Amino acid sequence: MASPPAETRAHFGLGRHRGPVEVTIHWLGAPAETLTLDSGRYHAVRQAE
């Protein structure tokens, strides 16, 4: 029987902040990537291949 995949979700609280936020993701073995994301939403972010 196969095990379920590990949880890979990260949650960041922004308090009362409204509007877009700029985030920088430091990928292992790849260059950092900076994105602008809307607050108050879930986002699926994947490392570029």
How far from the centroid of its chain's Cα atoms is residue 27's Cα? 11
CA distance 7 to 30: 22
Of all residues in the chain, what percent carry a pLDDT higher than 90? 43
CA distance 14 to 40: 9
Per residue in 24-40, pLDDT (tens digit) is: 999 999 999 999 999 98
Quick check: 48 pLDDT over 80?
no
Domain membership of residue 36 (yes or no) is yes
pTM: 0.66
Domain membership of residue 23 (yes or no) is yes
Per residue in 5-22, pLDDT (tens digit) is: 666 788 888 888 899 999
Q: In the chain, how many domains are there?
A: 1
Domain with 21 in it? 17-49
